[in-house]
Chains A and B, each alone.
Chain A
Amino acid sequence: MDRRKFLKTCSVLSGTACAGGLPLLTGCSQTNALERSPLKGRKWGMVIDLNKCLPDCNACAEACRKENNVAFFNDERYDIHWIRKVGIKEKDLHDAAERPMLLLCNHCEDPPCAQVCPVQATYKREDGIVIVDHHRCIGCRYCMIACPYNERAFNFKENPDWPNPERPKRSHGVTESCHFCAHRLDQGMTPACVETCASVGANVIKVGDLNDPDSEVSRLIATHPVKRLREDLGTEPKVYYIGL
């Protein structure tokens, strides 16, 4: 066999070997997990009816803290809010009454936080929930800069309390935000804030499947004038407000 023929045979053989072996190398278990994943097909969204929100009630935020072990030190430098209640006023009217407003992660369809995350710790799940993998977060805080809603928080200090031992808390040096209580949604329950809001009797917050036209959130969006925050940015938030 001459040199030319030998090289030709070698290249053909190695090429076939590579082509055959590539699909084996590139994450077999990942595709397997994707197939088994129960998340496909759904798109979780939230509707908040601000007209019903009780002025002195903060039950949703407290329930969220208890469910998800969100850090609270009574010191605004370190406090973390996954859902928070603020008062808003009409800008040009001085004597306008303050109205309650609930702010939480908007779970954008096109999330800037997930786009900028250098380690893909923040990502969008198949069902549209934007969630942080705290095992992977390196605490660079790029997501906090990217989020136009300022809904990301950094753990400057570890939470000393552990109100819900069933759920993990976060160690020092990772960012976090609301994840629609993904663990509860996966088990067929509603998020802690929704449950508490219903038990208080206000029924302000509703969570449901936006892909399903018969779900409560889809009907509310279809029948009410809804607004989302900063729609001009093109992030396509999935939190809809009635009466904003």
Chain B
Amino acid sequence: MKANKIVVAVMVLIILSPIAFSAASRLLTESPKPFLERPDAKYENCIRDTEYMRFHHMDYLKEVREEYVRYGIRDQEGLNSCKECHASRERFCNRCHNTVDLNVDCFGCHYYPETAPATSN
């Protein structure tokens, strides 16, 4: 009976170990923060608040792109406007995308410098 209980306990530990591992690693490693820099003062603030941009920038970009490409509405801020403040892809997009191992294919066609000299923090 006792041996059975030990086996069950070990099994539960093995099953839960990935969750525990990821939780621990999340606690131990610092979550990446996009590098904010302003090469020129075209924009005072980001077009939306940080919390919205962090989780929904892809939805926003998709919406703007649809209106830009399909309906010719060209007066909105899109991917090209991002680089007004976030000059380099390495210090902005890649910080999070690399951490979560996400490969976006925006930059095969759209120009966004991979590295650019840092201006300010």
Q: Which residues of B contact A36 (CB under 8 A)?
A: 67, 71, 73
Contact, CB under 8 Å: B70 / A171: no
A-side contacts of B66, CB under 8 Å = 33
Name B110's closest neighbour in chain A (CB-CB). Answer: A168
Contact flag A186-B72 (CB < 8 Å), given A33-B67, A135-B65: yes
A134 to B71, CA, bound (A): 15
Interface 0/1 of B95-111, CB less than 8 Å to A: 00000000001001111
A210 CA / B109 CA spacing, docked (Å):
32
- Which of A170, A183, A186, A187 is the one whose CB lies under 8 Å from B109? A170
Closest A residue, CB atoms, query B74: A186
Find chain A residues with CB under 8 A from B80 CB: 166
* Contact, CB under 8 Å: B73 / A38: yes
Chain A, interface residues (CB within 8 Å), range = 20 to 34
Chain B residues with CB below 8 A from A183, complex form? 74
| B111 engages A37 (CB within 8 Å) | no
Whether B72 pairs with A165 at a CB distance below 8 angstroms is no
Q: Which of B63, B71, B105, B109 has a CB less than 8 Å from the CB of A39? A: B71
| B112: nearest chain-A partner, CB-CB | A165
Which residues of A in the span 96-142 have a Cβ within 8 Å of any Cβ on B?
123, 125-127, 131, 133-135
Question: How far is A36 from B72 in the complex, measured between Cα atoms in Å?
Answer: 9
| Contact, CB under 8 Å: B109 / A169 | yes
Residue contact A165 to B108, C-beta cutoff 8 Å: no
- Kindly state the interface size class of chain B when it binds its partner: 10 to 19
What CA separation (Å) do A166 and B74 show in the bound complex? 14
A125 surroundings in chain B (CB, below 8 A): 70, 72
Specify which of A39, A135, A158 is in contact with B72 (CB 8 Å cutoff). A39
A171–B111 alpha-carbon span in the complex (Å):
12
- Considering residues B67, B71, B80, which has the most beta carbons from chain A within 10 angstroms of its beta carbon? B71
**Distance A38 CA – B70 CA, assembled complex (angstroms):** 11
**Cβ of B8 < 8 Å from any Cβ of A?**
no
Q: How far apart are the CA atoms of A170 and B74 in the complex, in Å?
A: 20
A selection of 26 A-B contacts at a CB cut-off of 8 Å is A33-B66, A33-B67, A33-B70, A33-B71, A36-B67, A36-B73, A38-B72, A38-B73, A39-B72, A125-B70, A126-B71, A127-B72, A133-B69, A134-B109, A135-B65, A135-B69, A158-B108, A162-B111, A165-B111, A166-B80, A168-B109, A168-B111, A171-B105, A171-B108, A182-B72, A186-B72
